[in-house]
Amino acid sequence: MSDDEIGGTPPANDGDPVPAGWRAAPAATYGLEHPVLCPACRQEITEIYVVRLYRTRVHFVSSLPRSGRLLVCPRCRAVVPGELGAVF
């Protein structure tokens, strides 16, 4: 099945392994109290990126949230499990 048949086109890649959206600094970076290992790349990380997740289109009435946050490894850009909560 081609990309056109499934409703998408592949992103342009000029040989650069870093996607265009990652060339700029992320909107939020959080430092970690202690270094941890990324579960995807197994590298030690001391900070984590927070990326906004937002709904762009839905074809039905949805009770799901309109936005959220993803925690991302700054080295390999993999989604990292975790929680981002408010501090009072």
Q: Is the pLDDT of residue 33 over 80?
A: yes
Give pLDDT, residue 36.
Answer: 95
* Predicted pLDDT of residue 74: 92
Q: Is the pTM of this model over 0.75?
A: no
User: Can you give the residue ranges of every domain in the chain?
Assistant: 26-72
Torsion over CA: 39, 45, 46, 52 (sign): negative
Q: What pLDDT does 50 receive?
A: 92
Helix (H, G, I), strand (E, B) or coil at 72: strand
pLDDT recorded at residue 2: 44
